[in-house]
A = this chain, B = another copy of it.
Amino acid sequence: MHIDSASREQLQEWEKELSAQYQRICEHELSLDITRGKPSADQLHLADKLDGILNGDYRAADGTDTRNYGGLDGLACARDLGADILQVPSEEVIAGGNSSLTLMYHAVLTGYLFGFAGNTPWRELENPKFLCPVPGYDRHFSICEQLGIGMVNVPMTDSGPDMDAAEELVRNDRDIIGIWCVPKFSNPTGVTYSEDTVDRLAQLGQIANPGFRIFWDNAYAIHDLEQQVNLPSIRSATLANDTADSVIQFASTSKVTFAGSGVAFVSSSPANLASLKQQMQAMTIGPDKVNQLRHSRFFAEFTMLKEHMQKHAEILKPKFACVLEQLEKSFGESDLGEWEKPRGGYFVSFNTRPGCATEVIKLAADAGVKLTPAGATFPYGKDPEDRNIRIAPSFPPLEEVDTAMSVFVLCVKLASVRKQLQMA
């Protein structure tokens, strides 16, 4: 199907055909949901032994009674786990509660209210703003929006954010005090940042406002589908560029053990960790160390974590394959859309022809297939070209992913044809 070269008659014929197909699908009264990057029950089941793993022994190897108060940094063995995931030293890791998003929120709050490492609090700037590689993760954008921190779009490429654009913006605007990054299997495009991108990001700290911080949300650090994809170390790169204070890294076991009941980690330079702990100490006496101990026992060796992730991959692979096959089959020889082929993570990002995403999502919803709302992958929910749709195949069973994708491709075709007819 090639829209651009199709005649009006051809488009009208397609429209009639596709509308008829769409009507038939609507009659099935489907109720499918491929909106959020949630693990499936099968994946969660892999960690069912977590509850009960302590067997009455609540003491950590270092003697800490995990049941009692205390320990703002988290349990030593949990910090080791975070260090393994992020490939950083344990001393630079804080093991927190059940959510890396919460750690990110508090890190933004720290920068905004108090400033990192003695720098000016962001709220004292005229118009503090973050760079937001787009499409990106809606929950990152929500944090900025809630705190009134502005957001500036930077296009994503297949090697990470467009660094020419990022450097230009940072150089010319001292109010840019952060950037959101999902550096491996980026949400939603699935891209892993290249060595060059990581290097150039590490150099931003040399030209930016000294309070500038890279929020390195390594949510999919160990979530490879096939062979391991290597993400260059941002820590090494910043150390080499004398910008170690410019990066704050995050990870969690949310998509490793239990999505709502894992352990989250933050890692940064000693100066930044001190700022974070300054904020934290008014807020908490310490994280849930019992759950941290459970995780340390469950993953006594890092190899056990890696083996565990392979089991996740076995469950996820057919679902990703299904999505990609459907897209390839329907659009491989067409001008109806573009997508990346992710080698890990939780999403497939699809770009429709300009101006079609909202209509595709509406058509799919009316046919009983819930997709992430149009614009959700952009700051303020505004996709300037109305093109991006995030597909999240992890949660539903494979058959449902397949059915949902059949509906999806049909809706893309129908919306594209109708749009072209309107424009013609």
A65: chain B residues within 8 A (beta carbon): 41, 44
Distance between Cα atoms of A147 and B110 in the complex (Å): 11
Distance between Cα atoms of A139 and B259 in the complex (Å): 31
Distance between Cα atoms of A259 and B58 in the complex (Å): 13
- A285 interface contact, C-beta 8 A: yes
- A143 interface contact, C-beta 8 A: yes
Min CB distance A158 to B, Å, is 29
Task: Contact check, B290 vs A51: say whether CB atoms are below 8 A apart.
Answer: yes
Min CB distance A301 to B, Å, is 21
Mask, A29-58, CB within 8 Å of B = 1, is 000000010110100100110011111101
Min CB distance A53 to B, Å, is 7
Residue on B nearest A289 in the bound complex, by CB:
B260
Mask, A142-165, CB within 8 Å of B = 1, is 110111000000000000000000
Q: How many residues belonging to A are interface residues under a CB distance threshold of 8 Å?
A: 54
Min CB distance A136 to B, Å, is 15
Task: Contact check, B291 vs A288: say whether CB atoms are below 8 A apart.
Answer: yes
- A281 interface contact, C-beta 8 A: yes
A298: chain B residues within 8 A (beta carbon): none
Binds B, one of A98-106, A216-224, A236-244, A311-319: A98-106
Distance between Cα atoms of A147 and B113 in the complex (Å): 8
Task: Contact check, A261 vs B290: say whether CB atoms are below 8 A apart.
Answer: yes
Distance between Cα atoms of A6 and B345 in the complex (Å): 79
Residue picked from A56, A67, A71, most chain B C-beta under 10 Å: A67
List residues of A (123-155) whose CB comes within 8 Å of B's CBs: 139, 142-143, 145-147
- A68 interface contact, C-beta 8 A: yes
Task: Contact check, A145 vs B259: say whether CB atoms are below 8 A apart.
Answer: no
Task: Contact check, B259 vs A102: say whether CB atoms are below 8 A apart.
Answer: no
Task: Contact check, A98 vs B52: say whether CB atoms are below 8 A apart.
Answer: no
Distance between Cα atoms of A254 and B99 in the complex (Å): 20
Given A51-B52, A258-B290, A289-B261: A69 touches B38 (CB 8 Å cut-off):
yes
A286: chain B residues within 8 A (beta carbon): 260
Given A68-B259, A282-B142, A283-B105: A48 touches B44 (CB 8 Å cut-off):
no
